[in-house]
Amino acid sequence: AIRPEYFPRFILIPAIATLALAFARMALALTQARNIGQERLLARTDELTGLPNRRRLVTEIDSFIEKEGALLLLDLDGFKPINDVHGHETGDKILQQVALRFERALPHGALLARLGGDEFGVIVLGSPDTTLEVAHALRATLSYPFTVGGNQISISVSIGHVRNDKNGDLLQRADAAMYEAKRSGVAIVEAAVYRP
């Protein structure tokens, strides 16, 4: 700018073009990095509820192994007839409202995930009594009906509860406890502490 004739034009024009291309490439790289971050977030998020998904829950279980707490698996009872009678759109709205009720009932630091269909998972920290209280609170959130499209719809939940006893098969044991709760009609089943 001070000495415009210092560099010949045949050097200056390619230099400016190179700088412009470098800035364009940097902008493109930043956009791609942002998109990759967004894709990673979406890969760990349930599209319908906005909750973390099964992949995220499994990842968190791996880092949860050294902490005191419990894994809860929840399966909605009587959900299939809602889709059959009222349609999938109503079923989706119910799932969104269930997710909202569950989130409100959980203590700070708990992780709620939708595992797929009408199944949810929760990692909650605390003593065995505290985590069982959380399970009862989650069950209580479904004690009053949902209103969707002028219809009053009631559902309940079966919960499998497994304390973190440092054994790595928490998900499998919580799943077995949840199916036992569903089969037996008992709302909450606590898995036995693992003893090798």
pTM for this entry? 0.76
The answer to whether the CB of 88 falls within 8 A of the CB of 72 is no
Contact 118, 79 (CB under 8 A): yes
pLDDT, tens only, 16-73? 778 888 877 887 777 676 656 555 545 678 889 999 999 899 888 888 877 899 999 9
Percentage above 90 pLDDT, the chain: 45
Q: Is residue 106 scored above 70 in pLDDT?
A: yes
- CA Rg, the chain, in Å? 26
The overall average pLDDT reported for the chain is 85
Q: pLDDT band at residue 14, thresholds of 50, 70 and 90?
A: confident
Residue 7 pLDDT > 70, yes or no?
Answer: no
How far is Cα 124 from Cα 103, in angstroms, rounded to an integer? 12
Q: What is the pLDDT at residue 1?
A: 46
Stretch 96-106: mean pLDDT: 95
To the query of whether residue 92 is one of the catalytic residues in this protein, the response is no
Q: How far apart are the first and last CA of the chain?
A: 79
Q: Which of 92, 118, 169, 175 is catalytic?
A: 118
Q: Please give the Cα distance from 50 to 96 (Å, whole number).
A: 9
d(CA 158, CA 139): 8
Q: Is residue 3 pLDDT above 70, yes or no?
A: no
Helices (H), 106-142: 128-140
- Report the amino acid identity of residue 126: G
